[in-house]
Structure 1
Amino acid sequence: MKYKISLFLLLIFVLNSCQNEDEKRRAENEKEVKKNEIIFNNINKAWTFIDEPINEAAEQKVSSWNEWRDFLKELGDKPRKTIGAFQKKSAAISKKALALNNNIPVEFNVPQIKSRISILITKVKMMDLFINLSTIPDKKVTFLIGEINKELVSLERQMDQVVVKSKIPKEEGEEDFLKMLDTTRAIPNSNTVPVQVQNINKKLPTVE
């Protein structure tokens, strides 16, 4: 009889323990769901990129620079519903950003533009890294979205400056002067008349 009572009590204890574990697990799952929901809402709210050119110079390149056009198009296509969709979109944006190093128009293939493209790519890659972590630091992701927009503005303004500068007429003779400063273009002049060295051993006049 005592054995049956002990067994009964043990069974109740086991069932109670299992129920507590299930409740604990359920509470943790609910907490994780709420946390992920907050992360999703924060990223979804902040996910707004400058996907249209801000000046004429950048707008003209949309038609001729395929990589630039594709990058802006990727930025403008906002994902929906799940954090997984944002992760896939982030990877796609990163891929398009890397392609900006290809086929840069001649007038923009200068250090000022290339350095800003490099900074932009770095910010995009950082965003892609953070959004794909197991625990997403949503504040860092949203901060980088703002940083990417700043770099886009900076890049397009630099494009505009390059175009404006190229339209300024050079003064007469400036082009030749710039070529002279370029030592890599220097060519020895074969027509130069050699300077004769006078004989310094000639007898000098004496002073009496």
Structure 2
Amino acid sequence: MKYKISLFLLFVFVLNSCQGEDEKRRAENKKAAKKKEAIFNNINKGWVFMDEPINEVSEKNVREWAEWRDFLKEIGEKPKKTIGAFQKKSSAIAKKATGLSINIPIEFNKPQIRSRISILITKVKMMDLYIHLNTVPDDKVVFLIGEINKEMVSLERQMDKIVEKSKIPKEEYEADFLRMLDTTRAIPNTFADPK
């Protein structure tokens, strides 16, 4: 009889403790859902990209440079429903950003443009990395969106500078002078050291 009573008490204790865990689990799930909703709302508010060209050169590039046009189109579309939609969009933006470095127009295939494109790609990939973490740091994602916008403006302004510089007429012997300044074309010193 003692055995049955102790077994009954053990059963009541286990049943009671399971109910407490269920309540804790429900409370934790509610808390996690509220946190995810807050993260979603912050990212949704901060997901504002500058997808419009800022100058004539950028507008011309949108028409002529397919990769740039695709990138701007991709960042212009905003996801709406879930964090998963933002994650998919972020991956698509990262893919389009990587394509920017592959086919740069000849007039812009210069170190200052390639470096700005590399920085832009890096920041887009960082945003993609942060948004795919288990616990999404929404403040970092929103900060990186602002940084991506700054890099895009910097890239567009640099393209504008290159076009403006190309419009400046060169003087008669300026090309020869610039070639003489190029140290890679210098005549190597073939004389032996007299020591």
| Residue type of the alignment partner of 1:95 | K
User: Equivalents in 2 of 1:137, 1:32: separation in Å?
Assistant: 14
Quote the residue 1:100 is aligned against: 100
Quote the residue 1:109 is aligned against: 109
Quote the residue 2:190 is aligned against: none
Q: What 5-or-longer segments of structure 1 have no aligned partner?
A: 188-208
CA displacement at 1:8 relative to structure 2: 3.5
| Residue type of the alignment partner of 1:135 | T
Q: What 5-or-longer segments of structure 2 have no aligned partner?
A: 188-195
Quote the residue 1:28 is aligned against: 28
| Residue type of the alignment partner of 2:45 | K
RMSD: 1.7
Provide Cα deviations, 1:172-195, integer angstroms capped at 9, x if missing partner: 2212322333355679xxxxxxxx
| Residue type of the alignment partner of 1:81 | K
Q: Which has the higher contact order (CA 8 A, sep 6+)?
A: 2
Quote the residue 2:118 is aligned against: 118
SS at match of 2:166: helix
Provide Cα deviations, 1:137-171, integer angstroms capped at 9, x if missing partner: 11111110110001011110111111111101112
Q: Superposed, which structure 2 residues align to 1:29-44 within 5 Å?
A: 29-44=29-44
Quote the residue 1:200 is aligned against: none
Quote the residue 2:67 is aligned against: 67
User: Equivalents in 1 of 2:184, 2:4: separation in Å?
Assistant: 101
SS at match of 2:135: coil
SS at match of 1:54: coil
User: Equivalents in 2 of 1:100, 1:108: separation in Å?
Assistant: 12
Quote the residue 1:164 is aligned against: 164
| Residue type of the alignment partner of 1:124 | V
CA displacement at 1:107 relative to structure 2: 1.0
SS at match of 2:41: helix
Quote the residue 1:78 is aligned against: 78
Quote the residue 1:130 is aligned against: 130
User: Equivalents in 2 of 1:5, 1:186: separation in Å?
Assistant: 101
| Residue type of the alignment partner of 1:54 | I
SS at match of 1:59: helix
Instruction: Count matched residues.
Output: 187
Quote the residue 2:191 is aligned against: none
User: Equivalents in 2 of 1:17, 1:183: separation in Å?
Assistant: 81
Normalised TM-score (structure 1): 0.84
SS at match of 1:67: helix
SS at match of 1:103: coil
Provide Cα deviations, 1:92-148, integer angstroms capped at 9, x if missing partner: 100100100122111101111111001101100100111101111111111101100
Normalised TM-score (structure 2): 0.90
CA displacement at 1:11 relative to structure 2: 2.7
User: Quick check: 128-137 or 7-16, which moved more?
Assistant: 7-16
User: Equivalents in 2 of 1:110, 1:5: separation in Å?
Assistant: 86
Bigger Rg over Cα: 1
User: Equivalents in 2 of 1:8, 1:15: separation in Å?
Assistant: 11
Residues 3 and 184 from structure 1, CA distance in 2 versus in 1: closer, same or farther, beyond 3 angstroms? closer
SS at match of 1:50: coil
| Residue type of the alignment partner of 2:50 | I
SS at match of 2:53: coil
